Amino acid sequence: QVQLVQSGGEVKKPGASVKVSCRASGYIFTTYDINWVRQAPGQGLEWMGWISPYSHNTGYAQKVQDRVTMTTDTATSTVSMELRSLTYDDTAVYYCVRVTGDYPAPQYFQHWGQGTLVTVSS
């Protein structure tokens, strides 16, 4: 079965960087894009960006595009998301999500990682 296993929670100071990893299993890693979604405490879901493990192409939300880098390691079936220059507003649970479906058919988030809490605190 499809599994996305994320790295553990992190506590970072303002201005620092954090890197969250997501190891995929149960399917051919390069076949499906991985997206990242975050959720601040008590808030809604916010899409951050995507990466293709096949082409290594990426796309980022404008809000974080200057501070985020998504990478993929096909040898370990792992996707990573690094966020730099952290502020208190970056405190959130970060999810990696595997896309299902191929455009022009609808695409959707069927498989989610368990989430990684990143806390920004001085």
By the rule CB under 8 A, 61 interacts with another protein:
yes
Three-state SS for 117? strand
Nearest distance, CB of residue 116 and another protein, angstroms: 11
Interaction of residue 8 with another protein, rule CB under 8 A:
no
What is 24-83 written as a DSSP string?
EESS-GGGS-EEEEEE-TT---EEEEEE-TTT--EEE-TTTTTTEEEEEETTTTEEEEEE
Among 2, 31, 45, 74, binds another protein (CB under 8 A): 45
- Count of residues touching another protein (by CB under 8 A): 22
The rounded distance, in Å, linking the Cα atoms of 119 and 78 is: 22
Does the bond joining 104 to the residue before it have cis omega, within 30 degrees of 0? Answer: yes
Between residue 19 and residue 38, which ones bind another protein under the rule CB under 8 A? 35
Nearest to another protein of 43, 121 (CB atom): 43
3-state secondary structure of 18: strand
C-beta of 66: minimal distance to another protein in Å? 15
Binding flag, residue 41, another protein (CB under 8 A): no
Binding footprint of another protein on the chain (CB under 8 A): 35, 44-47, 50, 59, 61-62, 95, 100-101, 105-110, 112-115
